């Protein structure tokens, strides 16, 4: 049995031969684990970070992407809208303009 709290490992080995049988060693291991969990306690603070927002626009179902056209060697700013219709996922992409010609003010107006 092994328990790690705050980077410190607490472990103990329960051999079947020492305890007399497989059932007795498992029973002793569970009892030791339960006792150690009471003594060590869990952390009161959660270490998980909250999930990061996956949207690039701040709106659910709308994403901002830059598409590159290899033939013309140009980049285009596009917005894609995602929705569900009759149980099927749908999307529609709208091209706003060239990346080079769009300023931050123009981009805010288009959103």
The string of pLDDT tens digits covering residues 33-59 is 999 988 888 777 777 777 777 777 778
On average, the pLDDT of the chain sits at 83
Q: What is the mean pLDDT of residues 50-77?
A: 82
Least reliable range by pLDDT among 21-25, 51-55, 96-100, 102-106: 102-106
Would you say the pTM of this structure is higher than 0.85? Answer: no
Looking at the DSSP assignment, which residues form a beta bridge with residue 94? 79
Rounded to whole angstroms, how far apart are CA atoms 89 and 46? 35
> Is residue 15's pLDDT more than 80?
yes
Contact 29, 14 (CB under 8 A): yes
């Amino acid at each position: 049995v092994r328990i790690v709290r705050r980077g410190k490992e607490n472990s103990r080995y329960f051999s079947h031969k020492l305890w007399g049988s497989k059932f007795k060693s498992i029973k002793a291991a569970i009892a030791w684990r339960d006792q150690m969990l009471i003594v060590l306690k869990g952390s009161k603070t959660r270490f998980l970070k909250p999930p990061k927002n996956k949207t690039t626009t701040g709106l659910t179902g709308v994403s901002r992407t830059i598409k590159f056209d290899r033939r013309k060697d140009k980049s285009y700013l596009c917005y894609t809208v995602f929705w569900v219709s009759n149980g099927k996922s749908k999307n529609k992409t709208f091209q706003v303009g060239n990346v080079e010609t769009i300023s931050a003010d123009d981009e805010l107006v288009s959103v």
